[in-house]
Amino acid sequence: MDHLMKITDLNVVFHIFGADVHAVRGIDLELNKGETLAIVGESGSGKSVTSKSIMGLIPNPPGEITSGEILFEGKDLVQYSQKQMQKIRGKDISMIFQDPMTALNPTMKIGKQIMEGLIKHQGLSKHDAKERAIELLQLVGIPNPEKRVDEYPHQFSGGMRQRVVIAIALACNPKILIADEPTTALDVTIQAQILDLMRDLQEKTGTAIILITHDLGVVANLAKRVAVMYGGKIVETGTLDEIFYNPKHPYTWGLLSSMPKLHAKTDKLLAIPGTPPDLSHPPKGCPFAARCPYAMKVCIDHMPEYTELSKTQKAACWLLDERAPKVDPPSTIGVGGEA
Amino acid sequence: MGRYILKRIGYMIVTFYVVVTLTFLSMKMLPGTPFKFANRLSPEQLNQLKHYYGLDQPVPVQYLQYMWNFIHGDLGGSFQYGMQPVTEFLMQRFPVSMQLGIESMIFGTILGILLGIISGIYRGRFLDWGMVTLTVVFISIPSFIFAAILQYFFSVQIRIFPVIGWSGPMTHVLPVISIGVGVMASIARFMRTEMVEVLNQDYIVTAQAKGLSTSAVIYKHAIRNAMIPIVTVIGPMTAAVVTGSLVIENIFAIPGIGSQFIDAIVTNDYPMIMGTTELYAALFIVTIFIVDILYGVIDPRIRVSGGKPS
């Protein structure tokens, strides 16, 4: 099957203060038409850098894609110039940002901010673009769009602004929508509304979504496939069910255990001890080895290969090697009634 | 908006009234008299003079008299010029200072904003580095030194512009540049900082993510937002330049209000000092008012909260 997007061995390095920070270290990802792929991981795992690489928005300097390819409909975006990328951005691939309070230009009417992309990519006249902007506002559930199209961002609440940001992203019917922590900055009730809206819009438009998040609740709500990132690498991928009910990588176990549970007996929050590796000196072996309760000698010095667990699931962990001792996942994972 | 403007005008009147009163009172506290040879005059002669200028009245009476005249547009007569009305001097001299100030501001602001934008876009590169160095130099050199250097090169060495005077465009060039470079340097630095900050904002990334070209991102999204704080500094700076050009006026023998003001202070010419101070104050108050209105035009957030119907 032809993938809509295929990332192969992507490496991104930031040259900062004389050190080379290896933010993304050889990741492979595929995205199919109309599907939702979640990239999960904690801060600094490289998930945002991956999404910025796809958009061609890695600031250079200091950032640099040192190797790998990002094939979009068969064409390698890594080789594209900024000029060529400008034709892709907003048209074929667009993005929703984390903080709707700062993602909109405070001195420009929101209608105009939506129209910009339409005028640029679809060559619409101002009048037509405005009509379309009103339609889009309606689509993302903003009441009274004819009036609100002429208002400024400060006249909207946080949730409403995120809807505007989504309208901007969807303006030109992109094939891929990258949502970078789309609900992190919102109230919990608003989060649910925004997630509903995104799922709704995906059904209507058939856009593929790459969802970047550290919130497994959001993942459960929206994603079909999950890639778990750690230390600039993808440590496990699988379908939503596989990741939630049959996780194989100790880091995935840790992530699932640290999800707060409503019906838990204790009020203690479980955390993964330690901190992520310093990516200016990336570890030779498995990046999680230093924090992994099951780490063996081999983990320190040798990066494990992926083990195919099913057609859709694979994980990079020495525990999956046939010579390794058998380890059961901790009981704290318990995914209760979510999804 | 109308209500907001009315309210502001009310505040302006109150502010101005306070300034006039304080100026009047401080005149009363100045040591010495306006009379050149006061120590040689007999007490009778002194009293006669004081009576002539109305200085023998109790202070509250003088104050009411002054305010009464003030409301009727009479700022009194200049002591040093045989009671010729102060307003006449101000009307004659002020436009020259105003013109010099405004020309300098236009020169400095336009160049400063341009330099700041360029510097901000190319931050950290050689161009930016050169620009920052240049602005530090221009801010540090006092305008009168710069004026003397300009005079030496452009009037003495390669006689393009006249050394002094204020008659026709050619005479304006050197004084305007002398004052303007300082303005340019301050505004360039300010604008650069704002540009760097705005270019790091999330909405710039949003604009890029829409696929806009780099120039569209800068013109449509960055510059307008970076300009907002600049407007606030331009107002007070204009007032400061108009009222602070007296050294340059002296160097280029420009018949502005600055030299007049100094003379008035030296000779205790009370009405002249008060008149000039009041004019400066009025200028300052009006400029700040205009800036606030402009601020609302550029920044929609202010416009709405100011004009919210209550």
User: Is the CB of residue A108 less than 8 Å from the CB of residue B207?
Assistant: no
Kindly identify which residue of chain A lies nearest to residue B223, measuring between CA atoms.
A107
Per-residue model confidence (pLDDT) at position A237? 93
Please, which pLDDT band fits residue B83 given cuts at 50, 70 and 90? confident
Asked, for residue B261, whether it belongs to a domain, the answer is yes
Q: Which of A271-285, B66-80, B103-117, B272-286 has the lowest mean pLDDT?
A: A271-285
Asked, for residue B31, whether it belongs to a domain, the answer is no
- CB contacts under 8 A, B 227-286 vs A, are 228
Please, which pLDDT band fits residue A280 given cuts at 50, 70 and 90? confident
User: Is the CB of residue A195 less than 8 Å from the CB of residue A222?
Assistant: yes
This prediction's pTM = 0.79
Give the burial string for B92-101 (b: 16+ CB within 10 Å, else e).
Answer: ebbebbbbbb
* pLDDT, greater one: B94 or B302: B94
Q: What is the 3-state secondary structure (H, E, C) of A228-283?
A: EEECCEEEEEEEHHHHHHCCCCHHHHHHHHCCCCCCCCCCCCCCCCCCCCCCCCCC
What is the spatial distance between Cα A111 and Cα A132, in angstroms, rounded to a whole number? Answer: 10
Is the model's pLDDT at A328 over the cut of 50? yes
Tell if the CB–CB gap between B203 and A105 is shorter than 8 Å. Answer: yes
Percent of chain B with pLDDT over 90: 44
Residues spanned by the domain of B219 = 88-307
Decide if A104 touches B, using CB distance below 8 A: yes
* pLDDT, greater one: A337 or B247: B247
Best residue of B206, B215, B305 to probe chain A, by most A CBs closer than 10 Å: B206
DSSP B213-270: -HHHIIIIIIIHHHHHHHHHHHHHHHHHHHHT-HHHHHHTT---HHHHHHHHHHTT-H
Per-residue model confidence (pLDDT) at position A268? 73
What is the spatial distance between Cα A199 and Cα A211, in angstroms, rounded to a whole number? Answer: 12
Quick one: which of A113, A11, A20 has its CA closest to B202? A113
Tell if the CB–CB gap between B300 and A107 is shorter than 8 Å. Answer: yes
Per-residue model confidence (pLDDT) at position B116? 94
Total length of chain A: 339
Percent of chain A with pLDDT over 70: 96
DSSP B39-75: GGS-HHHHHHHHHHTTTTS-HHHHHHHHHHHHHTT--
Q: How far is CA A9 from CA A68, A232, A233, A284, in A?
A: 5, 11, 10, 17
Burial of A325 (0-12, 13-18, 19+ CB in 10 A): exposed
Q: Hey, is A122 helix, strand or coil?
A: helix
Best residue of A86, A89, A115 to probe chain B, by most B CBs closer than 10 Å: A86
Task: Write the class of the CATH domain A5-223.
Answer: alpha beta
The count of structural domains within chain B is: 1
Mean pLDDT of A207-234: 90
Decide if A161 touches B, using CB distance below 8 A: no
Per-residue model confidence (pLDDT) at position A1? 54
Per-residue model confidence (pLDDT) at position A60? 76
Q: Which of A106-110, A136-140, A190-194, A331-335 has the lowest mean pLDDT?
A: A331-335
Tell if the CB–CB gap between A106 and B213 is shorter than 8 Å. Answer: no
* pLDDT, greater one: A336 or A104: A104
CATH number at residue B143: 1.10.3720.10
Closest CB to B211: pick one of A89, A106, A113.
Answer: A89
Tell if the CB–CB gap between B214 and A89 is shorter than 8 Å. Answer: no
Q: Which of A29-33, A56-60, A208-212 has the lowest mean pLDDT?
A: A56-60
Per-residue model confidence (pLDDT) at position A183? 85
Asked, for residue B47, whether it belongs to a domain, the answer is no
Measured in angstroms, the CA of A231 and the nearest CA of chain B are apart by 25
Mean pLDDT of B128-150: 91
> Sign of the C-alpha dihedral, residues A232, A238, A242, A246?
negative
Mean pLDDT of A67-91: 90
Per-residue model confidence (pLDDT) at position A177? 92
What is the spatial distance between Cα A328 and Cα B3, in angstroms, rounded to a whole number? Answer: 73
Name every chain A residue with its beta carbon within 8 A of the beta carbon of B294. none
Tell if the CB–CB gap between B206 and A87 is shorter than 8 Å. Answer: no
Per-residue model confidence (pLDDT) at position B235? 82
Measured in angstroms, the CA of B301 and the nearest CA of chain A are apart by 7
Decide if A179 touches B, using CB distance below 8 A: no
Asked, for residue B184, whether it belongs to a domain, the answer is yes
Per-residue model confidence (pLDDT) at position B137? 92
Q: Hey, is A304 helix, strand or coil?
A: coil
Per-residue model confidence (pLDDT) at position B246? 82
Per-residue model confidence (pLDDT) at position A290? 85
Is the model's pLDDT at B308 over the cut of 50? no
Please, which pLDDT band fits residue A265 given cuts at 50, 70 and 90? low
Per-residue model confidence (pLDDT) at position A40? 92
Closest CB to B209: pick one of A57, A83, A155.
Answer: A57
- CB contacts under 8 A, A 71-100 vs B, are 82-83, 85-91, 94-95, 97, 99
Mean pLDDT of B294-306: 70
Kindly identify which residue of chain A lies nearest to residue B216, measuring between CA atoms.
A116
User: Is the CB of residue A284 less than 8 Å from the CB of residue A263?
Assistant: no
Q: What is the CA radius of gyration of chain B?
A: 24
Mean pLDDT of B53-74: 89
Q: What is the CA radius of gyration of chain A?
A: 21
Asked, for residue B73, whether it belongs to a domain, the answer is no
Decide if B299 touches A, using CB distance below 8 A: yes
